[in-house]
Structure 1
Amino acid sequence: MTLQDMIKLATEGKICELELLSLEGGFYILRAQLQETCCTLLDNKGQTMQLRSTTHLRDLLSDLPASAPPLSCVLVQHVVHDEMCGAREGPIEPLRMPFSLTSTW
């Protein structure tokens, strides 16, 4: 999904949630959760777009019209320490922290 596609779907209220997935190496990828599927944000070459921060995401979506419904956003980070140490039993869920596109705090 390109940025233009994402803005169009967000404006139409078809995006349920945006997930900013933190990956090793200090970059992020963005996934848009729709009703039936999850789509990754792609660059102009069709490759997965690498974002630098939540601020980078806010800048990318600055063209979103004010009339668009508010987007639910979460930062998703897997807890590598728990996976390496094996201290907990059962499945280990990633950390999911909500954040706002309108406020940096």
Structure 2
Amino acid sequence: MIEQFLGTWKLVSSENFEEYMKELGVSAAMRNMADLVKPNIIITFDGNKVNIKTESPLRSSEISFKLGEEFDETTADNRKVKECIMNNTVSTRIYQKV
């Protein structure tokens, strides 16, 4: 089932992303820059771990995790999180497979 998600994906549209970042506490300067970036997402699977690499001119990051298991993540602004709830703020980002 994960096979349909594997590959490289390019951001094609984004709605409410600045408001989402504001709820996260991201600075205004960083929100302005991040809102302009159209990152690529590369998803791979090595048998028991999913690897997601985000590449952009502003910042690149990578996470790896086992499906169905809680994991720690470092956000793009360098915060350690397990779960994020944004006060009902929803951001929709649409990616197209490259």
- Structure number, greater radius of gyration: 1
**Which structure has more RCO (C-alpha within 8 Å, separation ≥ 6)?**
2
Q: Which structure carries more strand by proportion?
A: 2
What is the TM-score when the length of structure 1 is the normalising length? Answer: 0.30
TM-score normalised by length of structure 2: 0.31
